[in-house]
Every structure is written in C-alpha cells, then in structure tokens.
Structure 1
Amino acid sequence: MLRYKLLSAAVSSFLLIGTMNVAYASSPVLQEKAFIIQPDIQGEVKAAYARSTVDRLNVRTKPNLTASIVEKIGKSKKYEVLDTQEEWVKIKLSDDSSGWVFHQYIEYEKAKPASAEVKPAGADSTETQPAAGTDTPQNQATVVNIVDVTNLRSGPGTEYDITGKAQPGETYPIVETEGDWYLVTLPDQSTAYVASWVVQTDFLSRNGIAIPPAITDAEFAPALYIYHTHNQESWKNIARNTKGTSVDDPEVNITLVGKHLSQLLQEKGIPALAGEEDITKRLKEENLNFSQSYKVSRKAVEKAMQEHPSLSYFFDIHRDANVPREKTTATIDGKSYARILFVIGTAHAGYEENKAFAEALNELLNEKYPGLSRGILTKSVHQGNGEYNQSLSPGSLLMEIGGTNNTLQESLHAAEAIADVFAEYYGSRNASAPDKQLAAVKATKRNA
C-alpha cells in the first residue's frame, strides 16, 4: 500500500484560461483540483454557486471552446450556477448576463456569495505585470525567477562576457526573448541576458498551470520510472520555439504527459515515479551535442535504479516529429487521442524481452482502444540510437505519443489509455505472483 496521499490532477484546456491563437483543438493543462461537490444520479449539481480555481478563467458565450470570450473571472468571487451541460457550467455574472466555464476549473459551494464582480481581462494583482503600455500575450512569460546563482551576460550566449551574478529568489522583468536567452531589466534599469534553462518564469502561472508536487515520501517504493530523453518536445499550436524543425518549449512540453501518467497510475494503486531530470538543461550545461541525449538520460535512469531498487519498468516518453495529423490522431467514443507508437532498439542482446513487453501492451491497447496504437517499430543502430537505454531492463520501452501536429489534450488522453492498459498488465503480473509462490511451496513439500 502506498504511504502517501496523492493530489489528483484535473485536465482542461489552455484556451479556457488564456487567449492563445492556436491551429488545432484546445490543449489542456494539469491543475491541482480543489474539493468538488459531485453531481447527483440525474447529473444535476447540488450546489448553488461556483468559484474559479485559477486566476483567469474564460467565460464563453456558448459551452464550447470556439465560442467567444465575454469575461474573465478570478478566484475571489462566487457566481450563481444557472445550468450544466456535459463538461460546462453556466454562471450568472455581475451584470446579470451569463456565460459558460469549463467544469474542471470550478469548485462548487452552497453558501450565498458576495456580489459577483468580474476581474478585468488580464488583471491579476498577485502577478508581476509588464510595464505600462505593453500588451503581453497570454502565451508569453513576463518575468524570470532565479532559482540558483546565475550568470548575467552581455549577450545571448555563453561566449559573451559575464556582467554580474543573479541570486536565488530574485525576479527580473523580461524585455524580450532571443533564442534560449531572456533579456531582463535589472534594478538599476540596465539590462542583461540570462539562460532560459537555468531560470523559471511566470509562464505556467499566467496560463493557470499547476505542476503536481513531487513525491518525497522516503518509504515510497516505485515500480515504474517515467522519464523523457527529449524533455522539451512540445506541439506546434503552443510551442514557443519553432525554429527550423524544432517544436520545443522549456515549460509546456512532453513532461506534462509523463506527470499525468504517473498520477493516473498512482491513483490506480501502482507506484509510478515521474523523473525530474532536465536532459536538455544538462546537455547545455555540459556543452554536449543533442545526439548525446540518450547518454545523459541513461545516467538519470541508472541513478533512479540505484536510489529505488524496486524499479522494474521504465517508460521513455516522446512526441513524434512532423507526421501528418491524420496518421497520429484517433477518435474513440467521441474523444480525440494522440496515437501511440512503441519503439524498440535492437542494438543489444536482450531486445527480444523488450519487444515482448511492447507486444503485450500493444495487444491490450488494440483490445481496449482499437485504432489507438500505431504498432511496434524496431530500430537498429543504423536507424537511430539503436538501444534507447533498453538494455538496462527488459521492462524498458520508448513510446512516441502523437506528433507535433497533435495537442497536449490529445496526448493526455493517450496517457489515460496507457495508464488503463498498463494497470491491467501490471495487475495480472502481480496477481499471479502469490499463486506461483504457493505452487513452489507445494512442490518443495512433495519433493521432501
């Protein structure tokens, strides 16, 4: 039994909380969920009022993501619930008009609210605001937060002179972004550059994204380790780095899918651990080439194995490249999923065991989610890395979830399917263990 209590994650959309211009369907985020009063048998909510759980929640004219935004509300006020429709809640606004909000960013209350006032669009007294006269889009960061002693440089690169040191806890407004560097304003109104991979920004909070807290219980014995060799892989509709063939983002990327999968499995009683190693940051810090990503991620896996001897399974989760959307997307029971491709490296002696593991999960996927799997792809050393750290354990897999043309929401839906399938696989494997032990005891008695 696990010795901790896991905070569940709600899945919703960037478009619910930001005014992002996207090409595809909405992209959900992970948001720590407050206690919610559940609907009754007839599906009606037994609560009179609703409150937003994020700082900016879009109120729309109709219960869908393509409807116009009429207001933005914050956490401070409660609003009368007028109606519910599937995943949407209709609320009464302060001017007696009404609008629809997404249910997973709402907590319900029965208490009578104070007069409901609407936050002006973009207003947020708890966040550092851009300078007067500027209009910062929701999908851009406005400040950097220093988390460790950081070099301030005269230009956007490590070859430029160091002009000073930023200390942990300091915060600087962002003037502009240049590649992997931020130009920031210092207290004396001068400017300097800081590397994006050594700081944090307010991007997640500006978009209402709360990253699930890491599990720190010393008695936690994980069975599955989830990591990301290419941890900044993102999606075209939200990525902030789209130079050349790159579709990357330092904060909104494939790691959110891994965290979601970890939480889903933990909720099913399976001890899963989402790794925190930032491979991209490590490559830059050590001045290593991108081709050495698997060498760096292998060290992270080996470290996890040393710290947690209980680990038996290892998922390296990626997002595929610019594959046509029709090939990487499946619709099942009206829900859009990013399709899953299993990749097995054959450049090591034990690859057949990895392949058998992939085949077992692939079979379950085909049974429970027809059309979701893209199958199993074997790759030799002449077709890529060829090994993908899979020689470390027969329970190692690399999974490509969707491609650049999918969305975060579709990828999270895929994670839900993986959690469902792996839970069944894991349960069947562990359920048989006591029977095997009993059989061994009986055989020993017979031989005696």
Structure 2
Amino acid sequence: MRLHNKLIGGTAIFVLLSGGANAAYASVQSVTTEKTISTSVEQVEQSKSISSKATVANIVDITNLRKGPGLNFEIVAKAKAGESYPIVGFKGEWYQLSLKSGGTAYVANWVVKTDVIDSSQPVSNGEQKPDIIEENIDNQVKKTIVNIVDNTNLRKGPGLEYEIVAKVKAGEWFPLVESSGDWYQVSLQGGGIAYVAKWVVETSVISEGDSKVYIYHTHNRESWKNVARDTKGTSFDDREWNITLVGKQLAQQLYKKGIPSFVEETDFASKLSEQKLGYSQSYAESRKAVNKAIQSNPSLSYFFDIHRDADIPRDKTTVTVDGKTYARIMFVIGDGNPAYKENKKLAEALHAMLNKKYPGISRGVLLKSSHQGNGEYNQSVSNGSLLLEFGGINNTLQENLQSAEAFADVFAEYYKSIK
C-alpha cells in the first residue's frame, strides 16, 4: 500500500522527545506527549460541507461533559466509553460537542479519539463508528492512517498472545488496512502487515497528491561523546542513542505543521556488517532504501539524509538563540550529481531562511567533489535531496532535537511558500 500525506480535518497527537537544558546527558530525557489540534473552527465547518463528512469525538473512557472548556466548569452530563459526538468547535485542549438532546458541551481532548464519518448518517451515541479505510472526495483518494501515540509492539495477530514482529515509537504512523475488534491491521513500509492495539494509537485521514518528505540516515549509528557506547578511535556510535532520533524529531515536527513525513528505519550499519561490506559502501546501501521508497511512494519530493559532523570544536557547531542552545546545521551538496546546482539552490534558500529566523544556526552550504567523499550522496534522486550535518560529536542530543524543530519550522515556511 502506498503512503500518502496531507492531513485533513480532525486532530493528531504527537509525542516529542524532549530533554533538559543542561549539556551533560541532556539528551536522554523523558518522553513528553503533546496533543495538537490541527484544524481551526473554520476548517471544521468546511469539512462538514465536503461530501457530508464530519469529525466526531469517540469517548474512550467514562468522563464528564462540561459547560465550558475547563475542569472548573459545571458538569452537564456523563459520557461512556464507545459513545460518539459531533465536534462543532474547540478551545485550547477542549472539544465543543453537539449533544443529541440539543445544545453543546465540552470534553477534554485527552479522553477522546477522533474520527471522520459520513454526517448524512445519524450519530447514535453509544455506538462506535466504523473506521474509514479509503474514500474518494473531490477526485482525491483519502486513506486512514494509524498514528502511534505511545511506544508499543506490533504483533502477528490481533491480540497480546500473538508474537511481536516489531517495536514502534511514538510519532510513527502506518496505513490502516482493516479493523479487527480492539486491534488495527496496518501495512508495514517494508511490506507485509501487523496488528496494533487501538488504545495506543490515533487515526487521521490523509490524501494522495502532495509532496512529502522522506528522512533517512546513511550513517544511522552516529552518536555523541556524552552518550556514545561504541567508541573506537575517532568513532562515536550507538545502537540506540544516535542520529535517528533527530530524524524522528524532524518528522514529528513536520507532521505537526501539516507535512506528513516518514523516517526510514533500516539499520544500514547492520546491513553492511551482514554483507561484509565496508563503510564506504554506506551510500550504495542507503540508495537501495531510497529507491524502494520512491517506487512505493511516487509523490515523494524531498529526501533528507541526516548526519552529525565529526570532532569539530563545540564553539563551531553550537549557537544560542533567545537563550536556547542549538546544534548548528550544515548543508552538504555533492557535485557528482549532474543536477547538483538545483540541490544547491534549495540548500542556499533554506540556509538564508534559517539564519534569518535563527541567526547563526546554519553553517552554510558545503560543495564536495568525489575527491572529498562520495561526491553524489544519493542526491540525483531529486532536486529536493539534501545531506544535512546536525552539529558534531561534541553536541548533545537535546541540542540536535531543538535544531530539528527549528529546521522543521523553516522548511514548513519554505514548503508552503512554493505550493
């Protein structure tokens, strides 16, 4: 099944990796859940008028409905798990619901799940609505995706007794295939299917046709001095606390801004080892994953290969903006790509936008030939292909996560400006 992007009405829950501000081991902190409502009241009203589609709140636990958007407001009714109510607006972290008896009430968004339903059919409170797998609105194919909201297991079948086939983290998402009781069957990026419990996910609807971002890490185990557990010579690597966490943060932040992205999960270091290939073959190995992604997702336009730089002095790879410390970002463009000037043009545009909004966060654009490295860096796949160096080994994960958020902020502005 092909992955798609562009969120429409409803909400999505995003879980962001976060940490403290201090430089020593600030990187490995708790996971913070942040709920973000992705529609405005105007968008909700618009979504009602498109093919009679409306967003509903499905109650997932017994809870109170209140007169206003806050715990200090009077309780007007109690809702039971499984009941559904049309959403007519929101304020802060509260949904305004339409009651069957007339009038409205508010419910906290953390005790509900949202769904998109056909509003021409009556909403019967107490009866859960079927999941939308695929529909066609305005000649665009819309599909439902499953958003992981807590670290969990994917299983071989719809139950806890089935074998675990993969572990997934908050922020990842998968196309929904079908619903099976309290479990969703989802399509895996590498092929095949698996099951996930409904109580650790949210669903949202995406549509085909817009560009989206593919994030990968050719040197996926690159880590930092303060957390790396695999150190040999000048190498600082780690199987768990590594640059892939920065890519996930970038994807999650882009997702919040309406640009659904997905992160390549392949452990390229392991692939090289299994095939007894040298480190110099890393880009050839990651190119296989890039090609596979393009075949299954032809709407992809942007390909970001996220790295961290080597043992560069910390004062060269770190900047403080408005009291917050960031790992500086450098764009690397290989002139072995015949169309490298187009990639360079994109890098220069983002470099300028970054430094305008976050002064000094970009180290600039570095042009490299085949005599200085790979020379191509898989950038021939698209004019939107970039290699990004986030900080160096002397930075912390937290500084890199903050830079990923800043980059997402600026890229979202660029992305919307050219649409």
Place the TM-score, normalised by the shorter chain, in its bin: 0.5 to 0.7
Matched-pair contact (CA < 8 Å) for 1:322–1:405: yes
Matched-pair contact (CA < 8 Å) for 1:7–1:32: no
- Distance in 1, matches of 2:239 and 2:232, equals 14
Equivalent position of 2:76 in the other structure: none
1:211 maps onto 2:169 in alignment: yes
Equivalent position of 2:391 in the other structure: 402
Q: Say which of 257, 262, 284 aligns to 2:273.
A: 284
Matched-pair contact (CA < 8 Å) for 1:9–1:212: yes
Higher RCO (C-alpha 8 Å, min separation 6): 2
Specify every segment of 5 or more residues in structure 1 that has no aligned partner in the other structure, as ranges.
16-21, 37-45, 49-107, 109-144, 149-167, 171-197, 201-209, 431-448
Give deviations 1:143-168, integer Å, cap 9, x for gaps.
xx9x99xxxxxxxxxxxxxxxxxxx9
Following TM superposition, by how much is the alpha carbon of 1:5 offset from its aligned partner in structure 2, in angstroms?
Answer: 5.1
Matched-pair contact (CA < 8 Å) for 1:13–1:409: yes
- Distance in 1, matches of 2:23 and 2:11, equals 38
Q: Say which of 331, 344, 363 aligns to 2:352.
A: 363
- Distance in 1, matches of 2:34 and 2:349, equals 37
Q: Which secondary structure does the structure 2 equivalent of 1:294 belong to? A: helix
Q: TM-score, normalised by structure 1?
A: 0.54
Answer with 1 or 2: which has the greater Rg: 1
- Distance in 2, matches of 1:352 and 1:213, equals 34
Structure in which a larger fraction of residues adopt strand: 2
Q: Say which of 377, 385, 408 aligns to 1:388.
A: 377
Equivalent position of 1:232 in the other structure: 221
- Distance in 2, matches of 1:264 and 1:309, equals 23
**Equivalent residues in 2 for 1:97-112, closer than 5 Å:** none
1:332 maps onto 2:290 in alignment: no
Equivalent position of 2:236 in the other structure: 247
Matched-pair contact (CA < 8 Å) for 2:14–2:34: no
Matched-pair contact (CA < 8 Å) for 2:228–2:237: yes
Q: Say which of 407, 411, 415 aligns to 2:400.
A: 411
| AA of the residue aligned to 1:216 | F
Specify every segment of 5 or more residues in structure 2 that has no aligned partner in the other structure, as ranges.
1-5, 37-69, 73-109, 111-152, 157-161, 177-205
Matched-pair contact (CA < 8 Å) for 2:17–2:32: no
Matched-pair contact (CA < 8 Å) for 1:233–1:249: yes
1:298 maps onto 2:304 in alignment: no
Matched-pair contact (CA < 8 Å) for 2:13–2:35: no
1:257 maps onto 2:262 in alignment: no
- Distance in 2, matches of 1:35 and 1:5, equals 8
| AA of the residue aligned to 1:291 | S
Equivalent position of 1:26 in the other structure: 26
Identity %: 55
Give deviations 1:8-47, integer Å, cap 9, x for gaps.
12343389xxxxxx973611457251769xxxxxxxxx99
Q: Say which of 343, 354, 360 aligns to 2:332.
A: 343
Q: Which secondary structure does the structure 2 equivalent of 1:217 belong to? A: strand
Runs of 4+ in 1 over 4 A off after TM superposition: 218-222
- Distance in 2, matches of 1:23 and 1:361, equals 27
When the two chains are superposed, the root-mean-square deviation of aligned CA atoms in Å is: 3.1
- Distance in 1, matches of 2:225 and 2:24, equals 9
**Equivalent residues in 2 for 1:126-141, closer than 5 Å:** none
Matched-pair contact (CA < 8 Å) for 2:214–2:300: yes
Matched-pair contact (CA < 8 Å) for 2:309–2:391: yes
1:9 maps onto 2:18 in alignment: no
| AA of the residue aligned to 1:8 | F
Matched-pair contact (CA < 8 Å) for 2:13–2:34: no
Give deviations 1:98-133, integer Å, cap 9, x for gaps.
xxxxxxxxxx9xxxxxxxxxxxxxxxxxxxxxxxxx
| AA of the residue aligned to 1:301 | V
- Distance in 1, matches of 2:270 and 2:170, equals 21
Q: Which secondary structure does the structure 2 equivalent of 1:33 belong to? A: strand
Matched-pair contact (CA < 8 Å) for 1:241–1:249: yes
Q: Which secondary structure does the structure 2 equivalent of 1:327 belong to? A: helix
Following TM superposition, by how much is the alpha carbon of 1:199 offset from its aligned partner in structure 2, in angstroms?
Answer: 10
1:425 maps onto 2:417 in alignment: no
**Equivalent residues in 2 for 1:115-126, closer than 5 Å:** none
**Equivalent residues in 2 for 1:436-447, closer than 5 Å:** none
Q: Which secondary structure does the structure 1 equivalent of 2:173 belong to? A: coil
- Distance in 2, matches of 1:272 and 1:35, equals 18
Equivalent position of 2:52 in the other structure: none
- Distance in 2, matches of 1:267 and 1:215, equals 13
Equivalent position of 2:125 in the other structure: none
Following TM superposition, by how much is the alpha carbon of 1:245 offset from its aligned partner in structure 2, in angstroms?
Answer: 1.4
Following TM superposition, by how much is the alpha carbon of 1:271 offset from its aligned partner in structure 2, in angstroms?
Answer: 2.1
